[in-house]
Amino acid sequence: MFKKFIAFSFLMTITLAVFCQEVNVYPSNWWVGMKNPKVQLMLHGTGIGKNTISITPYTGVRLEKVHKPENANYVFLDLVISNTAKPGNLEIKVSSGNNIKFPLKARRPGKGSAYAQGVTSADLVYLAIPDRFSNGDPSNDRIPGLRDQSLNRDSIFHRHGGDLKGVLNHLDYLQDMGVTALWLLPVWENNMPDRTEHGYAITNHYRIEPRLGTNEDYAALADALHSKGMKLIQDAVYNHTGLYHFFVQDKPMKDWLHEWPAYTNTNYKDQVLFDPYAAKTDRKKMLDGWFTPMMPDLNHGNPFLANFLIQHAIWSVEEFGIDGYRIDTYMYNDLEFMNRCNKALLDEYPRLSIFGETWVHGVPNQSYFCENNLQVPFKSNLPATTDFQLLFYGIQESLTKPFGWTEGVNKLYTTTAQDFMYKDPMRQVIFLDNHDLARFYSVVGEDTAKYKVAFSWLLTFRGVPQMYYGNEILMTGFTNPDGWVRLDFKGGWPGDPENKFTGQGRSEKENAIFNHIRNLAQFRKRSSAIKSGQLTQFVPEDGVYVYFRHDNKQTVMCIMNTNPAEKQVDPARFAERTKGFKKGRDIPTGDLMDLQQKISLRPMSMLVMNLE
């Protein structure tokens, strides 16, 4: 009898230990008054599924269903929150006695005006890597308990210590330059054993990467941006997570991930998604293959996983006041899931902007993944993409190849002419480089004349312009390996011998580029023609390309000379757009040009003239 009592006591101890484990709820909170009244909670804790789960009566809230998957460490709850519900704490009852308080908040005021505003062609987006931009809080450089304890600014393979407070400290710098929107690489926890300063190996969707700061720091950054009339773009990763994500190490269900008998990488071939002759095996490999061995591919066909990702996106907008989304590796996701996700966001936040990374080759390929005018079986509802075509087959070709019938700046003209495929090309995000590409200053051989032309184009062309941190101070680097294009912004760390955030810390050449960008960026903030006007382009002749941005209030004439020699242009050729104007003032220099006579163009240069 005594032995039986000891055994029973031991069993009770084990049982209590199981049911006293911490239980985490995802999402961590929700709101009353959402357009979609339904939310699905994921409870995760050792043995939570062995409990009976219910909720304490709460006016306006109904527990519709309890789902218990094969892994007893998870429970999913379907809640319906009606319009009669008030803010407060919903109590989730657990039969073991560990009840959970789930906050229901009042919604954030100012939807579409103070947050979820969307990023448009009126904006200038600045892309930054928090770890490499500025260190505002050295106390979080290393976090005990995390797998990666590296900290070495002399190595491109280690963390450098930049953080959200460092970004916050330089918002005035960005605003003075003319930046209106900030895009940061993913800010969520990346508790991986190796360097992941890029942020794309998420291990917890509801915790800010602690080496970057806290959830409160992210909220403070968003609030500070909004107080300055600026916007925040969040980088979303739906296709994969980090291998050490809690729901990868402890899967709720067997089909949570795309898993193969042996490791299978994606083939990276976007063509198989629209190729009428594509093999099904190639298509499956493209969509279900893993991006890397350290980034498991998520199964969007699992409805619980799909809900988790969609709700996290909505939660982020409401919790932090996100204004726009950039979606990583867009074409590797299940596209039907992406349509559902995009719709859920836009139903709740109609002005929110969403653009997807589509590193593909060819305008037809790229247009397939966003709203388009193509007659194809699958129709995407993604509003826009990152415009790799205007980069690779447009401005890059214009400045690195000699002019020819189809070469040089003719590529920019021809690629732009294919805009008829997009439903709204003004939403396309145009850029010169990013965290995955060679820095454009290196691409053009560190030729500042070409670099000025590139930025004159970027800040006057159709679409939403995006620049990469350090563009303004002539940062260089090639992607072999990627770390060389992710170097530190000098002056972002205490004790840096140079501070490129100030004019005094920049060289004469760097200040010339900085001021060129600043002058054009500040001009475009006041220019109705550039922000929302039409684009008219003329066929390039002899290496000279002319386009206009215009509306009923303003006309801006842009003349690009891609030749190594001086050229002359007769404004009479462009009379359909210059009629009624006599002079044009070049914005970067302030020079006044007479439109009644030929205009001399310096070698490799570009005029941006406000017609008067």
Query: Would you say residue 527 has pLDDT above 70?
Result: yes
pLDDT score, position 7: 40
Query: Would you say residue 1 has pLDDT above 90?
Result: no
Strand 30-31 and strand 100-105: the pairing is parallel
The stretch 521-535 carries a mean pLDDT of 98
Better-scored residue on pLDDT, 19 or 169? 169
Q: Tell me, which fold does domain 2-104 have in CATH?
A: Immunoglobulin-like (2.60.40)
Torsion, Cα of 191, 196, 202, 206 (10° steps): 70
Query: Would you say residue 395 has pLDDT above 70?
Result: yes
Domain chopping of the chain, boundaries? 2-104, 125-264+297-387+428-526, 534-611
Confidence at 98, pLDDT banded by 50, 70, 90: confident
Three-state DSSP class for residue 476 = coil
For 19, residues 6+ apart whose C-beta sits below 8 A from its C-beta are 47, 50, 51, 94, 96, 97, 98
Could you give the angle at which helices 215-227 and 303-320 cross, rounded to 10 degrees? 50
Instruction: Please give the single-letter amino acid code of residue 413.
Output: Y
The stretch 408-418 carries a mean pLDDT of 98
For the beta carbon of residue 383, count every other beta carbon within 10 angstroms.
22
Set 197, 235, 328, 433: catalytic member: 328
- Give the span between the Cα atoms of 214 and 232, in whole angstroms: 17
Query: Would you say residue 295 has pLDDT above 90?
Result: yes
How many percent of the chain have pLDDT more than 90? 96
Tell me whether residue 209 is one of the annotated catalytic residues. Answer: no
Which CATH architecture best describes the domain 125-264+297-387+428-526?
A: Alpha-Beta Barrel (3.20)
The CATH number of the domain covering residues in 534-611: 2.60.40.1180
Which tokens belong to 511? 């200040």
- Give the span between the Cα atoms of 177 and 517, in whole angstroms: 7
Confidence at 83, pLDDT banded by 50, 70, 90: very high
For 444, residues 6+ apart whose C-beta sits below 8 A from its C-beta are 399, 400, 450, 451, 454
- Give the span between the Cα atoms of 247 and 116, in whole angstroms: 29
481 preceded by a cis bond (ω within 30 of 0) = yes
Asked whether 188 and 199 are in contact (CB, 8 A), the reply is yes
> 228-280, pLDDT tens digit by residue?
999 999 999 999 999 999 999 999 999 999 999 999 999 999 999 999 999 99
Asked whether 290 and 263 are in contact (CB, 8 A), the reply is yes
Buried b (16+ CB within 10 A) or exposed e, 215-242: eebbbbbbbbbbeeebbbbbbbbbbbbb
pLDDT score, position 537: 98
pLDDT score, position 189: 98
The stretch 415-443 carries a mean pLDDT of 98
Instruction: Please give the single-letter amino acid code of residue 574.
Output: F
- Topology match between the domains 2-104 and 534-611: yes
Tell me whether residue 176 is one of the annotated catalytic residues. Answer: no
Cα angle value 95/254/249 (rounded, 5°): 75
pLDDT score, position 235: 98
Query: Would you say residue 378 has pLDDT above 60?
Result: yes
Asked whether 169 and 154 are in contact (CB, 8 A), the reply is no
What does pLDDT average to over the chain? 96
Instruction: Please give the single-letter amino acid code of residue 179.
Output: V
Query: Would you say residue 15 has pLDDT above 50?
Result: no
Which tokens belong to 598? 């030929």
> 452-489, pLDDT tens digit by residue?
999 999 999 999 999 999 999 999 999 999 999 999 99
Which tokens belong to 485? 């294009």
pLDDT score, position 21: 67
Three-state DSSP class for residue 320 = helix
DSSP 422: B
Q: What is the 3-state secondary structure (H, E, C) of 178-232?
A: CCCEEEECCCEECCCCCCCCCCCCCCEEEEECCCCCCHHHHHHHHHHHHHCCCEE
Confidence at 195, pLDDT banded by 50, 70, 90: confident
The stretch 366-382 carries a mean pLDDT of 98
> Phi and psi for 525 in degrees, rounded to 5?
-65, -25
Asked whether 305 and 298 are in contact (CB, 8 A), the reply is yes
Could you give the angle at which helices 303-320 and 335-348 cross, rounded to 10 degrees? 30
Q: Residue 85 belongs to what H/E stretch?
A: none
The stretch 402-429 carries a mean pLDDT of 98
Query: Would you say residue 2 has pLDDT above 60?
Result: no
Query: Would you say residue 12 has pLDDT above 50?
Result: no
What are the contacts of 359-366 at 24+ separation with CB within 8 A?
359/386, 359/388, 359/436, 360/270, 360/331, 360/388, 361/388, 361/389, 361/392, 361/393, 362/389, 363/389, 363/415, 363/418, 363/419, 363/421, 364/418, 364/421, 365/270, 365/271, 365/274
Set 217, 235, 319, 357: catalytic member: 357
Give the position of tokens 């290496």. 543
> Phi and psi for 442 in degrees, rounded to 5?
-75, -35
Q: How many Å is the Cα radius of gyration of the chain?
A: 27
